Amino acid sequence: MTTDPRPATSPSGLVLPITPLAEPGKEMPVVVRSPRRTKPPKHWIDLSIEERVDAVKEMGLPGFRAKQISEHVFVHHDLDPQNWTDLPKAVRGQVAEAWFPELLTEVSRQSCDNGTTVKTLWRLHGGSLVESVLMHYPATRHNSARTTLCISSQAGCGMACPFCATGQGGIQRNMATSEIVAQVLAADRLLESGAVPGAGRVSNIVFMGMGEPMANYKAVLAAMRTFIAPAPHGIGMSARGITISTVGLIPRIKALTEEGIPATLAVSLHAPDDELRDELIPANKRWKVDALLDAAWEYARTTGRRVSIEYALMRDINDQADRAAVLARQIRRRGDWTWAHVNLIPLNPTPGSRWTASRPEDQDAFVATLERWKIPVTVRDTRGKEIDGACGQLAARGRAEGVGV
Ligand code: SAH
């Protein structure tokens, strides 16, 4: 088989190897609009505050019951009306029937890293599988303790990134707001039971599980609003603790900029030049690096929140020091304030993948180049490796083992 010849000099002026990643003709399509199917029935969490009051009134109950129910949900993290002893038994049954369909069924739970990383595999209404990963970081001399939950926003993903196991599995469906939020409620409940010693509540939420959150914008935005709404109508978290990660759907980044929620935007860049990024992130064929970084810069300027540039280091693919310099220039020319922070992720090889993590010396040279340009940079620690809880690997095994569709 022949592969298309690559230009020695690319339009960006980079003279760097670009290895063809997908076999010609084997590329997957990018799917922004996910199939409409098997969403769960509407849940209490999906309703607005006013709709919740209307809902109880329609059941012939006094309006104050709405607040009482929301307290059980968002303050006590209890989604089973049968446990709510301050409601008459008949009312519990009625409420359960009308507004509390089962959202997430636990299929399995695994932990590693001395119990500080917990991955839960969930089955959704209709049979799709998704995962969330809880990571507790005890306090250090420099940082206070934090408990981060990595959540899914879609069953599968339509972005088709060739290095990501989820991306290679295709999209099944969007998740409902209630399904997104229920992952956090379940994690808080688990933490309350003392399952992770030293951890109190979820302090940070990252949309870095399965799915492309910006392709499920409406549900994700409603979930974010529920995370930050004060109790009892929401979880009462700080918007600063929420990170939304995207391959770069520019119109949605612009829409989020307008929302005025001071959450963190993470852009999965992985390459600073269109030639390589077109291959690593197929969505780049539509939304190019320059326009994406402009949108990210605008987000930082408007919200005052530093953008996180995600960059998975792949051996001999995107890890050359020259590319680090191109990345640094791309960031610097948009502003000399530290509007962006680069988060390097050692590639987590997916089963059967032909890429692997960078050599330590290449990673060090990449970091050193960014530091020379005074770009804030960190290398992400890779949690959950032994339980397939690491980036890009979620739920693939569950599907293979026949516990979901
Ligand atoms: N769709 C969103 C969020 C989910 S993925 C996005 O792409 O941003 C979260 C992060 O994990 C992304 O930066 C993604 O590129 C990265 N990732 C996916 N597969 C990976 C792998 N095998 N190794 C390391 N990082 C990976």
User: Do 93 and 203 share a structural domain?
Assistant: no
Is residue 268 part of an annotated ligand binding site? yes
| pLDDT value for 404 | 63
Residues with catalytic roles: 131, 391
Is 23 annotated as a binding-site member? no
**Dist. CA 338–CA 381, nearest whole Å:** 22
Could you tell me if residue 18 is inside a domain? no
Question: Has 112 been labeled as part of a binding site?
Answer: no
One domain for residues 211 and 314: yes
Q: Is 90 exposed, middle or buried (0-12, 13-18, 19+ CB in 10 A)?
A: exposed
Are residues 72 and 190 part of one domain? no
Which residue CA neighbors atom 4 of ligand 1 most closely? 208
The pLDDT, as a whole number, for residue 346 is 92
- Atom 9 (ligand 1): residue with closest C-alpha? 208
Domain limit, last residue, from 76, 99, 122: 99
Domain that holds residue 56: 44-99
* Residue to mutate, 208, 250, 353, 385, ligand 1, most ligand atoms under 8 Å from C-beta: 208
pLDDT recorded at residue 18: 43
Let me know: does 189 contact 78? Beta carbons within 8 Å. yes
Give the pLDDT score at 28: 83
Atom 3, ligand 1: residue with shortest CA distance: 208
Quick one: which of 127, 186, 126, 116 has its CA closest to 151? 186
Domain count, the chain: 2
Residues 256-308 pLDDT 10s: 999 999 999 999 999 999 999 999 999 999 999 999 999 999 999 999 999 99
Q: Are residues 112 and 74 in the same domain?
A: no
Instruction: Establish if 13 belongs to a structural domain.
Output: no
Question: For residue range 206-226, what is the model confidence (pLDDT) as tens digits?
Answer: 999 999 999 999 999 999 999
Pick 261 or 405 by higher pLDDT: 261
Q: Which of 56, 82, 99 finishes a domain?
A: 99
Look up the pTM and report it: 0.91
Residue 164 annotated as binding? Answer: yes
- Three-state SS across 345-405? EECCCCCCCCCCECCHHHHHHHHHHHHHCCCCEEECCCCCHHHCCCCCCCCHHHHHCCCCC
Q: Does residue 403 register a pLDDT over 80?
A: no
Pairwise CA distance, residues 182 & 195, whole Å: 18
Split at pLDDT 50, 70, 90, the class of 17 is very low
Residue 4 lies in a domain: no
How far is it, in rounded angstroms, from Cα 156 to Cα 175? Answer: 10
Q: What is the CATH number of the domain that holds 125?
A: 3.20.20.70
Q: Is residue 10 part of a domain?
A: no
Nearest atom of ligand 1 to the alpha carbon of 211:
1
User: Is 11 part of any domain?
Assistant: no
The number of residues in the chain equals 405
Which residue's alpha carbon is at the smallest distance from atom 25 of ligand 1? 391
Ligand 1 probe mutation, 212, 345, 355, most atoms within 8 A of CB: 345
Q: Are residues 128 and 60 in the same domain?
A: no
Q: Which of the four pLDDT bands, split at 50, 70 and 90, describes residue 351?
A: confident
| Together in a domain, 67 and 137 | no
7 — pLDDT class (breaks 50, 70, 90): very low
Judgement on whether residues 234 and 330 belong to the same structural domain of the protein:
yes
Pocket around ligand 1 at a 6 A CB cut-off: 157, 159, 163-164, 208, 212, 245-247, 268, 310, 312, 345, 347-348, 350, 391-392
Give the rounded percent of residues in the chain with a pLDDT score beyond 90: 77
Residue 324 clears pLDDT 70, i.e. is over it = yes
Contact status, residue 188 vs residue 204, Cβ threshold 8 Å: no
Q: Is residue 31 part of a domain?
A: no
Could you give the CA distance from residue 325 to residue 63 in angstroms, rounded to a whole number? 60
For residues 192 and 255, state if they share a domain: yes
pLDDT at site 393? 65
Nearest atom in ligand 1 to 209's CA: 4
